[in-house]
Structure 1
Amino acid sequence: MFKHVDYLQFQAKPEKPDAVLAAKMQELVGGQFGEMTVMMQYLWQGWSCRVPGKYKDMIMDIATEEIGHVEMLTTMLARLLEGAPNEAQEKAAAANPMLGAVMGGMNFQHAIVTGGGALPRDAAGVPWNAGYIVASGNLLSDFRSNVAAEAQSRLMTSRVYNMTDDRGVKDMLQFNLARDTYHQQQWLLGIEQLIQDGFTENGIEDSNAEFEHPEANHTFYSFDPASRAGEGRWAQGPTLNGKDEIVYVPDAQPLTDDKPLGPAPDPKLFVTYDGQMGKGKPGTAAGATGQGVANVVNKIKGALE
């Protein structure tokens, strides 16, 4: 259950309408790293969290705050769009305000679709989609994704902050910048807490580590003979998990003689196939069905063995 308080977390009061700025700020609402993304990402992580207590509560607290940040931004956009498109283009094409708005950079849909409201889209008009969010069920992996999301969100907010002289807009964005600064720290401190509580040994996601290739988990491969990557810390010294010393391999070569070729193709579908890989299986519905049955049989055999 969610409860709604009829006040914004922080004020969203622009000094004057600015439809062009509203179009830019759409990125902060519905962009890949906008507030809608972090809101949905944290909500999904919180709902999926199977560690009751402080971890789940912390995720849900930040997720709920992000709902409020979306509300702040949509309120700000509605106020920036007040009177648009007329006031947005007083100096240009006064007799044709819609044309003037487009010439000046206003988002057409703010006037046509929402009647002066925000959209769940980015600044280019691309609809927000759930593919932007990360919710793996693994707290360590998710917390690292959250740090990156907050960093990118803050960077975009900072850039928009430099695009306006409106004191009211800047005031709200200063609050948002501060929250993104702290939220980055919350997720990093969450990783420290996971280590302290024994959920992870060193903050590196290493599930099934016992099955890793024993050399590849501490080797830096360089694929350019002139590369200077070996000068960096990532190519020398102890690994972060403290288990090995990093090995640097300059001008790396293939570790196998396996070439990237698929199975022999169906000559009926690949007319340029010269036959040197052998006879390909016919790409017919009957052939696909037969292969599917064979796969099932092989799985059953494997399970019995």
Structure 2
Amino acid sequence: MFRHQKELQFEVKVDRPDPQLAKHIQEVLGGQFGEMSVMMQYLFQGFNCRGNEKYKDMLMDIGTEEIGHVEMLCSLISQLLDGTSPDQQAEAAKDPTLAAIMGGVNPQHLIVSGLGATPKDSQGVPWNSGYIIASGNLLADMRANLNAESQGRLQVARIYHMTDDEGVRTTLRKMLARDRYHQYQWMAAIAELEEKNGVVVPASFPPEAEQEAQPHGLEFWNLSQGEESSTGLWATGSAPDGTGDFVYVTEPAAQGNIPDPKVPATEVHHDLDGKTSDK
């Protein structure tokens, strides 16, 4: 059960209208790494979590918080659009300089949503459920969550420097702080799961089950010009799970065969055999 509370998690109050900034903020609302994505990702991971009540409860806690963050950003966008009427835009467009600036405004904020936020990114691309990951494997999902929070916080930080509106910055600072904590949270969960199950996903398929392919699981193949990559721990260190030491392969050679696919039937009309049919 979900229950809406009228108060926002943190106060949202802008100093002045800024429709161009409203367009930018659409990215951290409805973009690939926006609040809509993490909201749906955490909730679906929580909905589908089986037999791990501690993790399920955490996912539902944070997923529900993200619903509130979506509402905060919608309020922020609406306030940035307040006072942005079609007449004002038309008047501004008479000045070539202002017209160029107003060219960065999202027309859908006027035409489609009536000065409100939309479930889209900064380019007007609709939010896509393909952005989210809910695999049913806790470690894989937690790692995806850490990436999502890292990318989301990065984008909010970039937008922070696009404005000097202290009201907007106050809201963004609160979101940056929460995104920082959420990274700590996912790192803690990842460490706990790795200690319990191992570092490789899925742990239920161990290296020895790879049989004759197991040695390749420790090789770094040098497949680009230069050998600078040989100095990294990924090429000279040991596997985190203790299964062996990494090997740097300076001049890797192909170990497979040359594919020899069969030519399809003439009815496919591929023309590969030089013959044509007038039937």
1:73 maps onto 2:63 in alignment: no
Correspondence for 1:148? 147
**Residue pairs, 1:6-155, within 5 angstroms:** 6-85=6-85, 89=89, 92-93=92-93, 100=99, 103-155=102-154
Instruction: Tell whether the 8 Å contact from 2:20 to 2:102 is kept in structure 1 after alignment.
Output: no
Correspondence for 1:168? 167
1:218 maps onto 2:218 in alignment: yes
Q: Distance in 1 between matches of 2:141 and 2:191?
A: 14
Q: Deviations over 1:83-140 (max 9, x none)?
A: 1145875973259xxx949844110000010000001000011000100000000000
Correspondence for 1:270? 270
Identity over aligned residues, as a percent?
46
Mark the structure with the bigger radius of gyration.
Answer: 1
Q: Partner of 2:78: helix, strand, or coil?
A: helix
Correspondence for 2:4? 4
Residue identity matched to 2:143: R
Q: Number of residue pairs matched? A: 270
Distance 1:27 1:260, change over 3 A: farther
Q: Partner of 1:248: helix, strand, or coil?
A: strand
Distance 1:260 1:38, change over 3 A: farther
Q: Partner of 1:214: helix, strand, or coil?
A: helix
Q: Distance in 1 between matches of 2:148 and 2:88?
A: 33
Residue identity matched to 2:226: A
The offset of 1:271, in angstroms, is 0.6
The offset of 1:265, in angstroms, is 1.8
Distance 1:179 1:261, change over 3 A: farther
Residue identity matched to 2:185: Q
Show structure 1 runs of 5+ residues with no match.
276-305
Correspondence for 1:193? 192
Distance 1:102 1:75, change over 3 A: same
Q: Distance in 1 between matches of 2:216 and 2:125?
A: 40
The offset of 1:172, in angstroms, is 0.4
Q: Partner of 1:220: helix, strand, or coil?
A: strand
Q: Partner of 2:248: helix, strand, or coil?
A: strand
Q: Distance in 2 between matches of 1:56 and 1:162?
A: 36
1:207 maps onto 2:183 in alignment: no
1:240 maps onto 2:240 in alignment: yes
The offset of 1:148, in angstroms, is 0.4
1:254 maps onto 2:254 in alignment: yes
Distance 1:261 1:60, change over 3 A: farther
Instruction: Tell whether the 8 Å contact from 1:17 to 1:88 is kept in structure 2 after alignment.
Output: no
Q: Distance in 2 between matches of 1:71 and 1:190?
A: 27
Distance 1:261 1:174, change over 3 A: farther
Q: Distance in 1 between matches of 2:88 and 2:265?
A: 61
1:159 maps onto 2:158 in alignment: yes
Tell me which of the two structures has the higher relative contact order, counting C-alpha pairs closer than 8 angstroms and 6 or more residues apart: 2
Distance 1:85 1:233, change over 3 A: farther
Q: Deviations over 1:129-185 (max 9, x none)?
A: 100000000000000000000000000000000000000000000011111111011
Q: Deviations over 1:234-277 (max 9, x none)?
A: 11111111110001111211112x224433322342212369xx
Distance 1:86 1:100, change over 3 A: farther
Distance 1:183 1:82, change over 3 A: same
